[in-house]
Chains A and B, each alone.
Chain A
Amino acid sequence: MPTTTINGKEVHIDAEGFMTEPSEWDEGIANVLAGNIGIELTEAHWRLLKFLREDFAQQGETATTRRVQTVGGVPTKEQFALFPKKPAKKMAYIAGLPKPKGCV
């Protein structure tokens, strides 16, 4: 896996730019990644990102928008408002978590 430097820290990323080692992530990196895709992080964003990080630590998988709604308590509509068009993918990118799995 190639590495790159984000916010002064060396991190592993995949070809698309998603971080592949969740342990390398920190809040400074999140701000840079959010800026990369035109999102300014507010308290509402952070609440969601923290849920994703905690849920990943417990489950070993990136939460789907459905799980963020049912377990994290953030309605899907609000996820779309905070992370327009593709909330699942954008949340994972900023939270430094693997892209949600897509199957054939």
Chain B
Amino acid sequence: MPSLVVLGAGTAGTMVVNKLRPKLGPEWSITVVDPSELHHYQPGYLFLPFGTYQPKDVVKPMTHVLRKDVDLVRASVDRVDVDARTVHLTDGRTLDYDYLVIATGTTPRPDQTPGMAEAMGKNVHEYYTYDGAMALRRALDGFTGGRLVVHITEMPIKCPVAPLEFAFLADSYFSERGIRDKVEISYVTPLPGAFTKPVSARAFGDALAHKGVQLEPDFVVEHVDGEEGLLVSYDEREIPFDLLVTIPLNMGADFVGRSGFGDDLNYVPVDKQTLLSDFSDRVFAVGDATNIPASKAGAVAHFAVDGFVPNFLAHIQGRPMTHLFDGHANCFIESGHGKALLIDFNYDTEPLTGVYPYAKVGPLSLLKETRLNHLGKLAFRYIYWHILMPGRHLPVPIRMSMAGKVPAADVEAEPHDDAPPIPTF
């Protein structure tokens, strides 16, 4: 009896098992391993601190989300023995596999920055976990004025637009409470601008400025001083805060490191087009757990899994994998005051301005704050629970299209022989 073992029943792992179960014959066993009893709608964490979403909106029992005809093993992974094709669980049990899919995602690690974990829950908060988001909700509720600092420790992070959304929503939230003039909001990032790529960095930078949020770029945190309320960088800059909302360093699962195949941050090295691991033709990784050069986000996982399913079926029959992932994803970005922006991009094309999905008519606008994009964001929670997780088909193109997009201005000048360009740092 051939067996597939999937590690992790989050967004990516759930889509993988729910889509593969009906396609693999009854002779296949599918086992999914996860220590949790609950499935969390993680994009909803952003709305918990502001009281827009309630706990019931973001949590469901895992057994309601996974198909009944897969085996769920509630356990944590100790390590994977690739040569023996065995997964060792921390409770001592073992699972043998013919094929393995690693979908254990990425996790915020405040313990990796000196001083951060110690101050967590006091004047330092995060919202990338359910408990953290609920603790921040109480902190925001009691915040009557002062310096709010929104901070990214190091890239890559899960959902790289979420900290921007937090800053935008904080502006909106304090305006509604009538105390916006008593709150100074800053956005502190290790990136050279508000975002990763030039066109969107400019658009988001403008949005931050428009909302009165101070941008502090190129800030690489060395330690957090919770008692003094200071963020200190490697080049000895200090940023004072009364309330720090940080995105801690993100890392893949520890068992990936213990198994000996992870990179520096415990991500699984895979082929970026097929998601087959570099070290075994029986191991794949999907979602945030991989080292592919794309955003760590459910949207990326969704588009990647659409191609992974036919690839996996071909691979187990010894046929070549032909659904090559182009890194495509899109996501709505809440900007507060009932509006949102939309970005659409892939490995090669940065987020651009224009309309989506159809040229000229849109109807959605890219990199522009509109009410329609906000409605799209709110609709997404329904789509997540009722279309994506059950493995139903979402009728949008898998591969990215340039239709409707405005190309980035071609600013690349040919260098002259006598004067090579020197990068600006």
Contact = CB atoms under 8 A, between A and B. Distances in A.
Nearest to B192: A86
A4 B420 contact: yes
A25 interface: no
B234 A103 contact: no
Contact of B294 (A71, A90, A104): A104
A58 to B, nearest CB: 13
Contacts of B230: none
Contacts of A80: 220, 234-235
B415 A13 contact: yes
Interface in A44-58: none
B412 A13 contact: no
User: What does DSSP make chain B's interface, helix, strand, loop or mixed?
Assistant: loop
Contacts of B218: 85-86
B197 A102 contact: yes
Give the bracket for the number of chain B residues in contact with chain A. Answer: 35 or more
Contact of B293 (A6, A86, A101): A101
B409 interface: no
Interface string B149-170: 0000011100010000000000
Nearest to B345: A104
Contact of A15 (B264, B293, B412): B412
A5 B420 CA distance: 8
Interface in A1-41: 2-6, 13, 15-18, 36-37
Nearest to A83: B425
Contacts of B417: 3-5
Given A13-B420, A103-B196, A103-B295, A4 B264 contact: no
A86 B425 contact: yes
A94 B411 CA distance: 24
Contacts of A3: 417
A80 B233 CA distance: 10
B196 A104 contact: yes
A54 B231 CA distance: 34
B265 A66 contact: yes
Contacts of B295: 103-104
11 contacts: A4-B415, A13-B421, A15-B411, A17-B423, A66-B265, A76-B222, A80-B220, A84-B235, A102-B155, A102-B196, A104-B200
Given A90-B425, A101-B293, 11 more contacts: A4-B417, A5-B417, A15-B413, A67-B264, A70-B264, A80-B220, A80-B235, A86-B425, A93-B423, A103-B294, A104-B345
Interface of B: 154-156, 160, 191-192, 196-197, 200, 218, 220, 222, 234-235, 264-265, 293-295, 329, 343, 345, 350-351, 411-418, 420-423, 425
Interface of A: 2-6, 13, 15-18, 36-37, 64-67, 70-71, 76-77, 79-80, 84-86, 89-90, 93, 101-104
